[in-house]
Amino acid sequence: MVSKNEMITFLQSEFPKAQIVIEDFTDNSVVIRHQVRQEDLRPGGTVSGPTMMALADTALYIALLRQIGLVSLAVTTSLNFNFLRKPVADLDLLAECKLLKLGKSLAVGEVGICSEGHEVPVAHATGTYSIPPRH
Specify the residue, 75 or 90, whose C-beta has the smaller distance to a second copy: 75
Q: How far is the CB of 82 from a second copy (least distance, A)?
A: 5
- Nearest residue (CB) to a second copy, 21 versus 102: 102
The CB-of-61 to a second copy minimum distance in angstroms stands at: 10
Q: What separation in angstroms does the CA of 55 have from each of 40, 111, 129?
A: 11, 9, 15
CB of 78 to a second copy, least distance (A): 5
Whose Cβ is closer to a second copy: residue 33's or residue 124's?
124
Q: Which is nearer to a second copy, 45 or 49 (CB)?
A: 49
From the CB of residue 60, how many other CB atoms can be counted at a distance below 10 Å? Answer: 28
44-51 LR contacts (CB < 8 Å, sep 24+): 44/86, 45/89, 46/86, 46/87, 46/88, 46/89, 47/87, 47/89, 47/93, 47/122, 49/81, 49/83, 51/93
Which helix (H) or strand (E) segment is 112 a member of? Answer: strand 106-115
Residues that bind a second copy (CB under 8 A): 14, 43, 49-50, 53-54, 57, 75-85, 100-101, 105-106, 108, 110, 120-121, 124, 126, 128, 130
| Shortest Å distance, C-beta 131 to a second copy | 10
Count the neighbouring beta carbons within 10 Å of the beta carbon of residue 82: 9
